[in-house]
Amino acid sequence: MNLEKYHVVIFDCDGIIFNTTSLKLIAFQESLSAFKDHQIQDFTEYFKVNFGKSRYSHVRYFISHILKIPFDQNLYQNILNDYGSRSQALYDSAELCSGVTTLLEKLTTVDKYIASGSDQNELRNVFKKRSLEHYFKAIYGSPVAKNQLVKDICLKYRGKNILMIGDAQADYVAAEVSNIDFLYVDQYSADQKNMRALAGKKSFCTVKNLASVI
The string of DSSP letters for 86-149 reads: HHHHHHHHPPBPTTHHHHHHH-TTSEEEEEEEEEHHHHHHHHHHTT-GGG-SEEEEETS-HHHH
- Residue-wise pLDDT for 158-211, tens only, equals 999 999 999 999 999 999 999 999 999 999 998 999 999 999 999 999 999 999
Task: Tell which of 60, 93, 126 closes a domain.
Answer: 93
In this structure, are 182 and 156 located in the same domain? yes
- Structural domains in the chain (count): 2
Cα dist. 68→34, 42, 79, 85, 163 in Å?
16, 12, 16, 26, 39
Q: Which of 59, 93, 127 is the last residue of a domain?
A: 93
CATH code of the domain containing 112: 3.40.50.1000
* H or E stretch covering 189: none
| Domain's final residue, options 93, 108, 139 | 93
Are residues 133 and 172 both part of a single domain?
yes
Whether 185 and 85 map to the same domain: the answer is no
* Cα–Cα distance measured from residue 47 to residue 166, given in angstroms and rounded to the nearest whole number: 16
Residues of the chain with pLDDT under 50: none
Question: Does the predicted model carry a pTM greater than 0.85?
Answer: yes
Whether 62 and 161 map to the same domain: the answer is no
Give pLDDT, residue 156.
96
Give the H/E segment covering residue 177: helix 169-177
Same domain? For 128 and 203 the reply is yes
Does residue 10 sit in the same domain as residue 111? Answer: yes
Range of the domain at 160: 3-19+97-213
Same domain, 104 and 46: no
Domain shared by 81 and 42, yes or no = yes
pLDDT score, position 92: 85
